[in-house]
Amino acid sequence: MRVDAFDFHLPPEQIALRPAQPRESARLLIVQPGAAVELRDAHVADLPGFLRPGDAVVVNDTKVIPARLNGTRARTGGVTVAFEATLIRRLSADSWAAFAKPAKRLAPGDRVRFAGGGQGEDGLEATVTAKTESGEVHFAFDLAGRDLDAAIDAIGHMPLPPYIAARRPEDAQDRADYQPVFARVEGSVAAPTASLHFTPELLARIAAVGVAIHTVTLHVGAGTFLPVKAEDTADHRMHGEWGEVTAETAEALNAVRARGGRIITIGSTATRLIESAAAPDGRIGPFLGETDIFMTPGYAFRAVDAILTNFHLPKSTLVMLVAAFVGHEVQKRAYAHAIAAGYRFYSYGDACLLLPPSR
């Protein structure tokens, strides 16, 4: 399909710069192709009412790291050059790949220093080891392992998406707002945003319905914000992201489906991972490694029965995933309804619950 078929106009004022408070008060558009009422307005707090005893909700327990670092490089003559680096992929215990801007100020062999910006703060030093054709800069830090993790946590900033960072600076509130309540395994450089709507109280009410809550891990990479540059979806190369579905989780989800329950994934990340772990017959197996699965209209979902996800960027792989699940025409109607009704879009915005076609 042509990529521009997934384009749409969004008024800038509908890009959410802060999340709803409380989190579950965000709006929720119920989308069910073929139902008498195809589109229904609700709130995330209403989610338990759309679940059934015996269903399973799958959440991504990845934790966002403060991956944006402010750096300086000393030049000959005492001139200090400033730059910004966003960590995107760990290479080893002491090394990370990053996007730097401006990257032209850095060269292999350069020594750089990262700091949080406060007076007297400890810094973190590194050496530039490589620059790749794809624009990555590789840093080898003077610390490794847990010591490096602690230093990044101390001086790093939350990597807000470009459409938020361009309109306001990151602040202390984002440390809490841009982190899911069930975040556990450090490794993401962007939030699994559908997860941001959940609170302990909402999770308790979901469990009270008789719905099991299972976790998988998929570390969200910076590629989630990269535009689709190809003109046709067939020519797009999907970015890879590391994920894990344990054998215990796989067997528990298979048991849910065997009993007639549904698997409801929270977010595109959990959806991609479960579909990557599923065989053609729908049985889910253990998964460990990178997935570059790309779901566009025509893809046959194997194991996922319903999806809760945010409203996504025009022409993005994520809006294509929505169209793959509910159909392209339904996706377009749902997004047009959301825009007309004033829903808030993107990472801190509202959500939609995608249900299978009514039969």
What digits encode the pLDDT tens for the residues 212-226? 999 999 999 877 667
Q: Is the pLDDT of residue 174 over 80?
A: yes
H helices of 168-312, in order, are 174-177, 200-208, 247-258, 267-277
pLDDT in the model for residue 202: 97
pLDDT band at 239 (very low <50, low <70, confident <90, very high): confident
- Predicted confidence (pLDDT) at residue 190 exceeds the cutoff of 70: yes
Residue indicated by tokens 């760990």: 90
Q: What is the pLDDT of residue 120?
A: 42
Beta bridge partners of 354: 31, 307
Token pair belonging to 212: 């099991």
Report the alpha-carbon distance of residue 335 to residue 266 in Å, rounded. 19
pLDDT of res. 135: 86
Give residue for tokens 């195809």: 38
Residue 187 has pLDDT above 60, yes or no: yes
Q: What is the pLDDT of residue 115?
A: 87
Q: What is the mean pLDDT of residues 40-51?
A: 98
Q: Letter for the amino acid at 3?
A: V
Residue 177 Cα to chain centre, angstroms: 14
- Report pLDDT for 75: 66
Structure tokens at 138: 């590789």
Give 117's pLDDT tier (boundaries 50, 70, 90).
low
Is the pLDDT at 192 greater than 80? The verdict is yes
Where do the structural domains in the chain lie, given as residue ranges?
3-64+176-354, 68-157
pLDDT of residue 238: 85
Q: What is the pLDDT of residue 79?
A: 72
173-199 average pLDDT score? 95
Q: Given this model, what pLDDT does residue 119 score?
A: 41
Mean pLDDT taken over the chain: 93
Give the pLDDT of residue 225: 67
Q: Which CATH architecture has domain 3-64+176-354?
A: 3-Layer(aba) Sandwich (3.40)
What does the alpha-carbon distance between residue 358 and residue 243 come to, in Å, rounded to a whole number?
32
CA distance 234 to 229: 12
CATH 2.60.40.1220 fits 68-157, yes or no: no
Distance CA 63, CA 287 (A): 19
Phi-psi region of 324 (alpha: psi -120 to 50; beta: other; left: phi over 0): alpha
Task: Kindly report the number of other CB atoms within 10 A of residue 269's CB atom.
Answer: 30
> What dihedral angle (degrees, nearest 10) is formed by the CA atoms of 293, 299, 302, 305?
110
Lowest mean pLDDT among 21-25, 119-123, 303-307, 313-317: 119-123
H or E element at residue 248 = helix 247-258
Per-residue pLDDT, 121? 54
Sign of CA dihedral 347, 48, 276, 176: positive
- Give yes or no for residue 264 having a pLDDT over 60: yes
> What confidence category does residue 77 fall into, taking pLDDT thresholds of 50, 70 and 90?
low
Q: What percent of the chain has pLDDT over 70?
A: 96
Q: What is the pLDDT of residue 76?
A: 60
Cite the DSSP H helix spans in the chain.
145-155, 162-165, 174-177, 200-208, 247-258, 267-277, 317-326, 328-340
pLDDT at 240 over 50: yes
Q: What is the per-residue pLDDT across 118-169, written as a single tens digit (0 to 9) for each?
A: 444 568 999 999 999 888 999 999 999 999 999 999 999 999 998 999 999 8
Strand partners for 70:
84, 115
Rg of the chain (C-alpha set)? 21
Tell me the C-alpha distance between 156 and 196, whole Å.
Answer: 20
Mean pLDDT confidence for 336-342: 98
More confident residue, 139 or 239: 139
What is the rounded distance in angstroms from the CA atom of residue 106 to the CA atom of residue 91? 19
C-alpha 329/C-alpha 45 separation (Å) is 27
Give the Cα-Cα-Cα angle 336, 341, 343 (nearest 5 degrees).
Answer: 90
Question: Which of 41-50, 94-103, 206-215, 219-228 is the least confident region?
Answer: 219-228
- The CB density around residue 102, as the number of other CB atoms within 10 Å, is 10
Q: What is the pLDDT of residue 277?
A: 98
Poorest-pLDDT segment among 99-113, 196-210, 271-285, 341-355: 99-113
